[in-house]
A = this chain, B = another copy of it.
């Protein structure tokens, strides 16, 4: 292969904002760095794009290597290219965000990573590089997207209560929702179907479990919907 131009070219990385939802809060997965710069600091999982892999493949590879996560919802977010964002040299990063149901995935630090852990979005340590800005952009995208795509459902287990569903929207949108209104709107969308099951092993009165209607879900994801709550 020829080189198209001789002058210096930026390095290219991917970084991934992995969101997970638990009973309390929206969580994000961070990796503790063991190399300078920001040694010992927390950062988003990510790494360099190889010359023979797509950007999506690079993001998936880094996720597995650094967090053990695979087969999760992953979407390109935005490409960050401020000139001084990495103190070592010019690095442009293609940011992704991923959504994972915390009930279904056991996350551990894999071979590549030093220390991987979940942090609540509302209470984060100082982040390396411009990773706080990347995380803010991902949260903003998520907040916007749940209004017109049923994307947030990726954060829930397969069977869920309407309380869990409402909690998810409240945590992402960062405001309380009226229970009656919420249920009315959700059920009217026909994206959520009642199952015959109820919760198990809970201290409170067991609630009905619901599931997604995959066909309605796919149709709405494609055409967009409007979920003003």
Q: Measured between alpha carbons, how far is A48 from B8 in the docked complex, in Å?
A: 11
| Residues in B neighbouring A55, C-beta threshold 8 A | 79, 81, 92
Q: How would residues 1 to 35 of chain A score, 1 for a CB under 8 Å from any chain B CB and 0 otherwise?
A: 11111011111100000000000000000000000
Are B89 and A1 within 8 A (Cβ)? Answer: yes
22 contacts between A and B (CB under 8 A): A1-B88, A1-B89, A2-B88, A2-B89, A3-B89, A4-B88, A4-B89, A4-B91, A5-B11, A9-B9, A9-B11, A9-B48, A12-B92, A49-B92, A52-B90, A53-B83, A55-B92, A56-B81, A76-B79, A79-B94, A144-B224, A148-B148
* Residues of A participating in the B interface, judged by any CB pair closer than 8 Å: 1-5, 7-12, 48-56, 76, 78-79, 81-83, 88-92, 94, 144, 147-148, 224, 226, 228
Nearest CB on B from A182, distance (A): 18
Are B49 and A10 within 8 A (Cβ)? Answer: yes
Centre residue among A5, A9, A91, A148 by max chain B CB count within 10 A: A9
| Residues in B neighbouring A53, C-beta threshold 8 A | 83
Nearest CB on B from A224, distance (A): 6
Are B51 and A9 within 8 A (Cβ)? Answer: yes
Question: Which chain B residue has the least Cβ–Cβ distance from A149?
Answer: B144
Q: Measured between alpha carbons, how far is A81 from B55 in the docked complex, in Å?
A: 6
Q: Measured between alpha carbons, how far is A12 from B90 in the docked complex, in Å?
A: 12
Number of copies: 2
Nearest CB on B from A143, distance (A): 10
Q: Measured between alpha carbons, how far is A226 from B147 in the docked complex, in Å?
A: 10
| Residues in B neighbouring A7, C-beta threshold 8 A | 50-51
Question: Which chain B residue has the least Cβ–Cβ distance from A51?
Answer: B8
| Residues in B neighbouring A91, C-beta threshold 8 A | 4
Q: A10-B49, A55-B79 are in contact. List 10 more A-B contacts (CB 8 A).
A: A2-B89, A4-B88, A4-B89, A8-B51, A9-B9, A49-B92, A51-B90, A76-B79, A144-B224, A226-B228
